[in-house]
Structure 1
């Protein structure tokens, strides 16, 4: 398994569920000790020496013999794999294009060796291989971290150096949510196309449909899942179903809650004394404030809009744990990015402030609805909003304390014009995707 430098990813939400600035802000954190291969991967390599080597073509044959895939799929995917290998040999040695395409081939072959290419995951695996084969043999090198438009695909793809172009599910579902806020027919058609492709590419994990990442990251070997990306996908499909009445999208969204009801490394549910923390990644128990707050907000929305009992129960347990954890992220001067970690960067701090502020308002609205006999998430009396409201006020006050210092202008803008102080120490800005949903040149965050 190749271990890469931690990469960045982005958050996804909608301008309906949170302020527009949040659509461009959320960043997933890289776990510590990213230079170490996970024990599971080490064990797999050790075991591989004793067992017959699994190959990509061999795995396709095995799936075909089991009746899990069609003969046409086996032939098409085998051809894609062979063409990708031939393309690497045809590219100039040590060129960026050769390195990137080889990186995607390495991921594919590594998953095959570990027996991780299932019938449900194969469509995503070979679509990724095909997109990279076509891109690196005919198109210019994109900017690192950028999201080039892939012809014919409604998904968000991102360029991760050394990993090629990869489906960014969090960005994809965030885009779908943003598109759903308009009445533009073309954008609505784009939202529909994303939903349809998400259904086609949903793979089985933790007992239900999931949208998995297919590249090495922070010590996690592909395929791996993200609790926040999964919940954002549930939001996107539920909203689409609400607009179109398509039962398939709603059913898939509700079944997808299984990922946040199962423990890692299969799922993203980390049981704690007060409730459940929804993990950013299925391969690490690192707990991140902004990601957890966004996950709680997303579960609340889906529970309220669908009335589903399992989603409602997941929301109740996650909200209880977030409420219990909240003080531990507060240093008295700033917020921590992750539990027990260093201080957040300014953008993370502001994001956390905005997310807990959003929960403050949402729970206040739930209290009013409950008093009036209207539906509320999980059908139970909503918890008090006060802890979130107070936290949001403290986080804003931290931004406004000192008028001068490094980065004061950026902090001033974040605080709404007040001069601000730098945090005493900041968490490095690394993660499954630093800047995934950051606006591109000439683009505003609202465009997302």
Structure 2
């Protein structure tokens, strides 16, 4: 669907009621928190004054804005107020907090209206920002580290890679006994600041690769510090201990939400760091997560499509491909480990263009990659396999009486049900349906044969169909009393 300012305005109107939560409104103000940190010697006067100026400028700009622009900046200010009110102002967090406010004040003052999900950078900065309707512009850490990994693959952009990694580290927050790359906005029920195992894992890959490519161990040190969120449970971290090992959560605020693609990519990042740095703790964290993914992964494979999360949300087309690609990455990494063997000592060398750098050897025996390779291949096949429909028409159906036609569907699809009598369509219904059992109600007006046709088109465009003819009996005669 083409995105337009009108569409975005409608989205914004749904979020006009941006307000500081009651728990934060009762806490200290932004000014009071900055003064507290300055008095404690945790912020120097110039830095504190700079943050005050950014905040007051944003408040002044807000008064001049209306409509869509006002909604976005008001939301960003509300997040800053809530962070202060919740006692969450710590020096390492404030640079990202006030940079976010600064970027939004400048954008909503004069720049064009963006579309939902648009990503930009603000030259000469390398950091990737994304627009979230109702939350303004926010640092997109997954996109930022994805960009870093892309720069690493080019091989001729080392200066840009160094600048990006250095800038990212300057915006990291002290959290969970190390550093973390925090998201500073409300998202899907989570309130800021929260972290993501998916984004942090992608960051581990970028930092470890950068350490080797740029021959600078400070990036190994940073990656080692970034392991913190994988070692502690929510809300500080993303560790969910299990009987098999550990699941690393996609969102630190969603303790029970297991998302397959985020977990897999977190493991890819842990693997890259552990292998390149030959880090014992990294190896242990990867091993615990891989043991759990080996248990969990079959439950994300329906046999016809992938699940995005458990207990049963099917992936959309994009997330199905993302999970397939992340599994391919894990397959490649473990296959390379298996090929090299796993002696007790390890060395590091410059990375290759593949998933795991050439010459780097893991410290422990490599897990069997077959599960991940095979699952990725099945998910590829799913993209060209038509949905399977099984139609169960009623054995008896009478005119002018309600009945039910039941059917099963193998994977999420757009389903159209059509009823035809003597060449004329008497019923047509279309809906997006997930896998499993479904039914449609019928109340035929006349007796005679009724053709029921069901057609399903999956998210990749593959079509399946089934049909059956129901013989509708005449309406039952009414019996008169004596």
- Normalized against structure 1, the TM-score is what? 0.76
Distance 1:294 1:46, change over 3 A: closer
Equivalent residue for 1:150, pick from 122, 129, 141: 122
Tell me if 1:279 matches 2:244: no
Deviation at 1:236, TM superposition (A): 1.2
Aligned equivalent of 2:284: 313
Equivalent residue for 1:382, pick from 366, 370, 379: 366
The higher relative CO (CA closer than 8 Å, separation ≥ 6) is in 1
Report Cα offsets for 1:304-341 as digits up to 9, x if no partner.
Answer: 11111111111000000000101111222221110212
SS of alignment partner, residue 173 of structure 1: helix
Equivalent residue for 2:220, pick from 250, 272, 278: 250
Aligned equivalent of 1:23: none
SS of alignment partner, residue 181 of structure 1: helix
Deviation at 1:46, TM superposition (A): 5.0
For 1:207 and 1:377, the matched residues in 2 are separated by: 28
Tell me if 1:127 matches 2:99: yes
Aligned equivalent of 2:56: 82
User: For the aligned residues, what is the CA RMSD?
Assistant: 2.5
Deviation at 1:196, TM superposition (A): 1.0
Indicate conservation of the 8 Å contact 1:56/1:109, yes or no. yes
Indicate conservation of the 8 Å contact 1:199/1:249, yes or no. no
Deviation at 1:113, TM superposition (A): 0.7
Deviation at 1:352, TM superposition (A): 2.0
Deviation at 1:394, TM superposition (A): 2.7
Once structures 1 and 2 are overlaid, which stretch shifts more, 262-271 or 229-238? 229-238
Aligned equivalent of 2:425: none
Aligned equivalent of 1:352: 323
Aligned equivalent of 1:109: 81
SS of alignment partner, residue 239 of structure 1: helix
Equivalent residue for 1:234, pick from 204, 215, 224: 204
For 1:426 and 1:197, the matched residues in 2 are separated by: 43
SS of alignment partner, residue 91 of structure 2: coil
Map 1:325-364 onto structure 2 (within 5 A): 325-364=296-335
For 2:61 and 2:183, the matched residues in 1 are separated by: 24
Equivalent residue for 2:134, pick from 162, 181, 198: 162
Deviation at 1:183, TM superposition (A): 3.5
For 1:320 and 1:397, the matched residues in 2 are separated by: 26
Distance 1:254 1:355, change over 3 A: same
Deviation at 1:422, TM superposition (A): 5.9
Indicate conservation of the 8 Å contact 2:344/2:364, yes or no. no
Report Cα offsets for 1:128-160 as digits up to 9, x if no partner.
Answer: 111111111122222221113324422001111
Report Cα offsets for 1:393-443 as digits up to 9, x if no partner.
Answer: 3323333332899xxxxxxxxxxxxxxx9635459xxxxxxxxxxxxxxxx
SS of alignment partner, residue 121 of structure 1: helix
Q: Unpaired segments of 5 or more residues in structure 2?
A: 1-14, 347-359, 390-409, 414-432, 436-482
Indicate conservation of the 8 Å contact 1:303/1:377, yes or no. no
Map 1:4-153 onto structure 2 (within 5 A): 45=22, 49=26, 53-91=27-65, 93-94=66-67, 96-153=68-125
Indicate conservation of the 8 Å contact 2:342/2:361, yes or no. no
Deviation at 1:378, TM superposition (A): 5.0
Indicate conservation of the 8 Å contact 2:69/2:108, yes or no. yes
Once structures 1 and 2 are overlaid, which stretch shifts more, 209-218 or 187-196? 187-196
Deviation at 1:272, TM superposition (A): 0.8
Distance 1:256 1:396, change over 3 A: same
For 1:380 and 1:175, the matched residues in 2 are separated by: 30
Report Cα offsets for 1:4-48 as digits up to 9, x if no partner.
Answer: xxxxxxxxxxxxxxxxxxxxxxxxxxxxxxx9xxxxxx9x83586
Map 1:220-231 onto structure 2 (within 5 A): 220-231=190-201
Aligned equivalent of 1:434: none
Report Cα offsets for 1:35-86 as digits up to 9, x if no partner.
Answer: 9xxxxxx9x835865xxx3100111001111111111101110011001100
Distance 1:102 1:173, change over 3 A: same
Report Cα offsets for 1:207-227 as digits up to 9, x if no partner.
Answer: 111110111111111111111
Q: Unpaired segments of 5 or more residues in structure 1?
A: 1-34, 36-41, 406-420, 428-448
Indicate conservation of the 8 Å contact 1:265/1:283, yes or no. yes
Distance 1:164 1:77, change over 3 A: same
Deviation at 1:385, TM superposition (A): 1.7
Deviation at 1:116, TM superposition (A): 0.9
SS of alignment partner, residue 379 of structure 1: coil
Indicate conservation of the 8 Å contact 1:287/1:339, yes or no. yes
Indicate conservation of the 8 Å contact 1:158/1:166, yes or no. yes
Aligned equivalent of 2:259: 288
- Higher-Rg structure is 2
Indicate conservation of the 8 Å contact 1:337/1:349, yes or no. yes
Distance 1:63 1:318, change over 3 A: same
Indicate conservation of the 8 Å contact 2:23/2:85, yes or no. no
- Equivalent residue pairs, number: 365
For 1:359 and 1:152, the matched residues in 2 are separated by: 34
Deviation at 1:161, TM superposition (A): 0.9
Aligned equivalent of 2:270: 299
